[in-house]
Structure 1
Amino acid sequence: MKKRYKFISWNVNGIRAVDKKEALKWVDDYNIDILGVQETKSQKDQIPNTIFNKEFSFKTASQSKIKGRSGTALFSDINTTFDCTCPSVDILDEGRINEVHFNLGEKNIAFFNVYFPNGQSSQERLEYKMEFYDRFLNHCENLKKDGKSIIVCGDVNTAHTEIDIARPKANENTSGFLKMERDWITKFLNHGYIDTFRLINGDLKDKYSWWSYRANARENNVGWRIDYFYVSEDLKDFVKDAYILDDIFGSDHCPIGLEIEI
């Protein structure tokens, strides 16, 4: 008998700050099977198991070697068979990845929760972002060769097409919407991965997941869609819904969701 699973991803921009705002309370009643959070800005031991009233059966986290930066955490009610922070991709040890494996039906899933680098601060960081992208793609491809199905959630820090950003022309020379960054997403998709939001919603416009804190950007919906759920092509027919929860506040990002039935 098939079961429906709900996955949520959210760049919280500081999990302790969001917790203090009580902006995580909605999680308790949302029947989430896996929650991936990015940019926790916390060490592993600073993320308490009691951050939600809901008790997830499994928690894992990554932390940056520089305290107060990056960081990811994954909370799950699905039994995992493998858990790592992907040092072959996150080579600078910035706390950017959770990788867990589990079985759903006949599928052996590799699930990634990723906070991809931002390239805006310098040319060096942009180059590292592109290197990180390629290392991640290579890692996913190797897992597919081993028979894994892939699910990726997280903050990719790039808007793919002009309908994924409110002001494309004004940002065409800004990291996050550079041609080389957008071309990488195209390359990733061409390797057999699916942007689930576009799969379900087609060319729906004016749906974003990040807004600057400046100039009332969120109130005016001047945003970017830079948070994604990707699945490998073999999971396409199992995708039942994909959405942006832009009515949930607490961060400069909003949560996004994916539901599959398998």
Structure 2
Amino acid sequence: METYSFASWNVNGLRAVLKKEPSFEEIARELDADILALQETKLQDGQVSLELPGYTQVWSYAERKGYSGTAVFARTEALGEPLSVRHADSLLPFAGEGDAAQLVAEAATEGRVCALEFERFWFVDVYTPNAKEGLARIECRMAWDDAYRAFLKGLEDETGKPVITCGDFNVAHEEIDLKNPKSNRGNAGFSDEERGKFSELVAAGFTDTFRLLHPDETGAYSWWSYRFNARKNNAGWRIDYFLVSDSIAGQVREADIRSDIFGSDHCPVTLTIEL
């Protein structure tokens, strides 16, 4: 077995992060991950050029400018080139028919998935659609969650390889995962519907790696509103995750939240695993 380190970060606009100190490249070097996954890059092709020597870069762009988007940087020496790459349109065969299929197809234009196949595993970076204020986009969110769960299981079934998926899932699963569960009950990110779909994902055979190793840890959050001094007061939510196929959950060695790293309203989350 080899030990691999992974990191995931919703950067909430990569161009904005690139203008800050420490630089994005410095943060990437500090994380020193074999794979670094980003969400909400808010880029179009060619808008930035990153100097990350030794990493293969895979990008997924939204058709809408300045919106959504994902990227994965994989250390070539550790992993080799990806055997195959898939994007959000690969969810469409799992989206059913009718309204659900149409909603998933709409979300699939938003650059929300980078799925890379390696020799020993699949690595899937996701930026899950936000249900929006008043749950205005909840139907899309429910359809997406169903299709995404089926897509991950499809990768397992098709190739026989375990799946590691990470990203901004836009849901705090349990009350322990946000500072103010009672006042947020029913709001986007903590609705019964979204929490239920996350429970279905776990039940389908995926392990929340942070809770596996830190089952009772409170105050562990990955996102804070820019309002009300939320980060200073640690009034946050844990909505960024690493999930792994249950078959490899016993090989997880570390799962952490890097709240010491700034530059976005989210902080990176990390995983160390033997494969």
TM-score, reference length from structure 1: 0.93
Q: Among 223, 226, 234, which residue is 2:247 paired with?
A: 234
2:230 corresponds to which letter in structure 1?
A
**Secondary structure at the counterpart of residue 151 of structure 1:** strand
Q: Aligned partners of 1:47, 1:58: CA distance in 2, in Å?
A: 15
What runs of 5+ residues in structure 2 fail to find an aligned partner?
92-103
111, 119, 125: which one pairs with 1:113? 125
- Structure 1: tracts of 5 or more residues without a match: none
Which residue number corresponds to residue 214 of structure 2? 201
Counterpart of 1:85 (choices 79, 84, 87) is 87
Where does residue 180 of structure 1 map in the other structure? 193
Is 1:253 the counterpart of 2:263? The answer is no
Q: 2:237 matched to which residue of 1? A: 224
- Check whether the contact 2:7–2:31 (CA below 8 A) recurs between aligned residues: no
Residues 72-115 of structure 1 show CA distances to partners (whole Å, capped at 9, x for unaligned) of: 11100122101121303362201101010001xxx3x1111110
Q: Which residue of the other structure, out of 154, 164, 172, is the alignment partner of 1:142?
A: 154
Structure 1 residues 32-79: Cα deviation after superposition (integer angstroms, max 9, x where no partner):
1000000000013223132xxx41431011111110000111100122
One of 82, 97, 115 as aligned partner of 1:99: 115
Partners of 2:233 and 2:54 lie apart in 1 by: 36
Query: How far did residue 178 of structure 1 move?
Result: 0.4
Per-residue deviation, 1:123:
4.5
Instruction: Report the alpha carbon displacement of residue 26 of structure 1 after superposing the two structures with TM.
Output: 2.2
Please state how far the C-alpha of 1:124 moved relative to its aligned partner.
Answer: 4.6
Aligned-pair CA distance for 1:117: 0.5
Distance in 2 of aligned mates of 1:136 and 1:102 = 20
In the superposition, the TM-score normalised over structure 2's length comes to: 0.89
Cα distance in 1 for partners of 2:186, 2:250 equals: 37
Counterpart in the other structure of 1:151: 164
Tell me if structure 2 keeps the 8 A contact 1:243–1:257: yes
Query: What per-residue deviation string (whole Å, max 9, x for no partner) do you get for residues 122-165 of structure 1?
Result: 64511101111110001111122121211000000000000001
Please give the per-residue CA displacement for 1:186-213, whole angstroms capped at 9, x wherever unaligned: 1111111000000111121110000000
Which residue is 2:98 aligned to?
none
Do the aligned residues in 1 keep the contact of 2:135 with 2:187 (CA within 8 Å)? no
Describe the shift of the 1:123–1:198 C-alpha distance in structure 2 as closer, same or farther (beyond 3 A). closer
Cross-structure match for 2:65: 67
Matched position secondary structure for 1:46: coil
Distance apart, 1:238 and its partner CA: 1.4
Q: What amino acid sits opposite 1:88 in the alignment?
A: S
Report how far residue 175 of structure 1 moved. Answer: 1.0
Residue 95 of structure 2 corresponds to none
Distance across 1 between alignment mates of 2:182 and 2:134? 21
2: CA distance, partners of 1:165 / 1:180: 17
Q: Percent identity?
A: 43
Partner of 1:44: 45
Give the aligned CA root-mean-square deviation in angstroms.
Answer: 1.3
Cα distance in 1 between the residues matched to 2:21 and 2:60: 23
For the 8 Å contact 2:135–2:188, the answer to whether it is kept is no
Deviations 1:164-193 (A, max 9, x none): 010000000201000111011111111110
1:83 alignment partner, SS class: strand
CA contact (8 A) 1:56 1:75 kept: no
More displaced stretch, 136-145 vs 84-93: 84-93
Question: More helix by proportion, 1 or 2?
Answer: 2
- Paired with 2:264 and 2:55, the residues of 1 have a C-alpha distance of 25
